[in-house]
Amino acid sequence: MTLFPRPVLFGFVRRALALVAVLGWGALALAVVTPKEADATVRLKDVIDIEGVRDNMLVGYGLVIGVKGTGDSIRNAPFTGQSLTGMLERMGVNTRGASLDTKNIAAVMVTATLPAFAAQGTRIDVSVGAMGDATSLQGGTLLVTPLVGADGEVYAVAQGPVSVSGFSASGAGASVTQGVPTSGRIASGGIVEREIEFALAELPVIRLSLRNPDFTTARRIAQAIDSRLGVPAARAIDPSTIVLTVPDGRRGDIVSLMTDIEQIRVEPDQHARVVIDEKTGVIVMGENVRISTVAVAQGNLTVRITETPQVSQPNAFSQGQTTVVPRTDVQVDQQSDRRLAVLPAGISLQELVQNLNALGVGPRDMVSILQSIKASGALQAEIDVM
């Protein structure tokens, strides 16, 4: 049984063949989806910093009150007692000579980051960390704490309830701790009291700093900026700095100029580098890592000794003694099945990893092999050991 009458079906076929004849076989190729090569370009705003546009670190010392018996012990943390006494005196309460014994208060260090161009009255997040022997800041409230910069001036003031993600609970025979209950955060707990003056709109020259200095990348950025602006305004003076002279028609409109420049896409160049973390065995190799012809063999001598002592029991009425008889099994594995592998010159990162994995090399052994290849002069890359 057919879904359509025969004349209708033939009509569909004729129209389809006519469409192919008109559009050509290229129309059929539209159904073939080819994978697009990964775009290696990045936005300029993701690889540079504008000199003068930066954050500033703030720090302060304060007191957190209201913790439920988990604060500092006054005897073990004398600075907490001194701070408490001074705070009460400023409130008109004299406690000089009195023996204070409270565990509902904790001395903390307060840190925050002052964003660039933060205006007076802007709220910022602050972090709080215990200094003494407090076990938890859960339920505490930070009292007014001035936050100073590197120059000693007060730029913000922080206060508010501390939000702690970790907790600690203990009993007579066991205790449970999750996260870090002695540190917390106050969302929007700081208020900016002083602005950092920086006349960005009046700059005749803007310096752009590369986050990963490189001669080739700096030159590509300068060329891309000149191409976008249409005038020779950018010049790379070293691997990490591009000097941009503001064109005459863009004076006083730096924000619009930087908006245009930030969206420029460039392809950063990479050093051939191998980063090794010996503590964890992590190896990160760049795409441009190449090696010359080298032969690699990997094997370890393993000696395994197993002790399985047995008890020798005398027969009944033999007047013998029960003794422990040692039984030792010694096995030596020289890994003779491992073979010598020859890695040809100019192989890529993927081929290098595949050849080493074929030898049964794990991350720990691969660290030693890469260092040995570098010592032989066959590894054409830098090795950074963390």
H helices of 204-292, where? 215-229, 254-262
| 132 and 232 part of one domain | no
Residue 222 backbone phi and psi in degrees, to 5: -60, -40
H helices of the chain, where? 6-23, 78-90, 215-229, 254-262, 349-358, 363-375
Give the pair of three-digit tokens for residue 295: 């032969």
Please tell me the predicted confidence (pLDDT) of residue 300.
Answer: 54
CB of 224 within 8 A of CB of 146?
no
The number of folded domains in the chain is 3
**258: CATH:** 3.30.70
- CA proximity to 231, closest of 241, 217, 245, 213: 245
pLDDT along the chain (386 residues), means of 10: 44 44 38 46 91 92 92 86 87 79 91 94 96 91 95 95 80 71 93 90 91 92 93 93 90 88 90 79 77 67 58 69 70 54 62 70 73 79 80
Please tell me the predicted confidence (pLDDT) of residue 77.
Answer: 84
Please tell me the predicted confidence (pLDDT) of residue 178.
Answer: 73
- Give me the domain span that covers residue 251: 200-266
| Residue at a domain's end among 230, 248, 266 | 266
| 298 and 372 part of one domain | yes
Q: Is residue 259 part of a domain?
A: yes
Instruction: Report d(CA 242, CA 238) in Å as an integer.
Output: 7
CB of 278 within 8 A of CB of 366?
no
| 71 and 183 part of one domain | yes
Phi-psi region of 97 (alpha: psi -120 to 50; beta: other; left: phi over 0): left
Please tell me the predicted confidence (pLDDT) of residue 155.
Answer: 96
pLDDT in tens, 296-317: 666 654 455 565 677 777 776 6
